[in-house]
Amino acid sequence: MQRLKSINPQVAKGHTKELFEMVQGAFGMIPNTVRVMANSPAVLESFLAFSTAMGKVQIGGKLHNQLKLTTSETNACSYCTSILSAVAPSAGLTADDILAGRTGDSDDRRTKAALTFANDVLASRGKVSNQQLAAVRAAGFDDAEIVEMVSSVVLGCFTNFLNNVADTELDIPAAAPLEIAGATSACSSGARSAH
């Protein structure tokens, strides 16, 4: 059962109502996580500003979303994993890209280095080693992109922690468990390669 209340958009007033209207216009719905954030209009406004700004990252929306998926799986946030998996196709992610984000692994060397770095940041709470930093640089990432990767992880942690505290009720289809998602992705890859 959800442990923090969700603000009902139909009774929201003032700035909260304006923020809800902005979310509704952008996504066509107001996800439950946004309704939980709306307990503090300042938090909701900050989240929306951070999310909007992160839409312009050099690393691109695809990798940004994969990094948030890695973070959500590591933090065991089923709400975030579900919503990120649901919206991932609109950010250009295939089923294999989603699975790569969720597992923190990829056949693409550069993506794998970024996802590994995200896991290193999470595991060390940001105190990555010189070797870990050198590894992500060796994959071709510059300082601006490293800052963006850390920021993707931090943005993911914010929503993960809030949804884990709130036990936010899912208002979107639940993401399949990794074992099932992996099997489905492997089957679809096999089907594509058979053609």
Same domain, 130 and 156: yes
| Statement to judge: residues 69 and 50 lie in one domain | no
Domain count, the chain: 2
Look at residues 141, 96, 91 and name the one whose alpha carbon lies nearest to residue 120.
Answer: 141
Low-confidence ranges of the chain (pLDDT < 50): 186-195
What's the pLDDT score for residue 188? 44
Q: Give the global pTM.
A: 0.91
**Residue 129, CB-side half-sphere exposure with 13 Å CA sphere:** 6
Residue 182 has a pLDDT of 62
The pLDDT value recorded for residue 194 is 34
pLDDT of 181 reads 66
Tell me how far apart the alpha carbons of residues 43 and 90 are, in angstroms, rounded to a whole number.
25
Residue 2, domain member (yes or no): no
Do 23 and 92 fall into the same domain? Answer: no
- The parent domain of residue 27 ranges over 8-54
Question: Could you tell me if residue 1 is inside a domain?
Answer: no
Nearest residue to 180 via CA among 95, 88, 111: 95
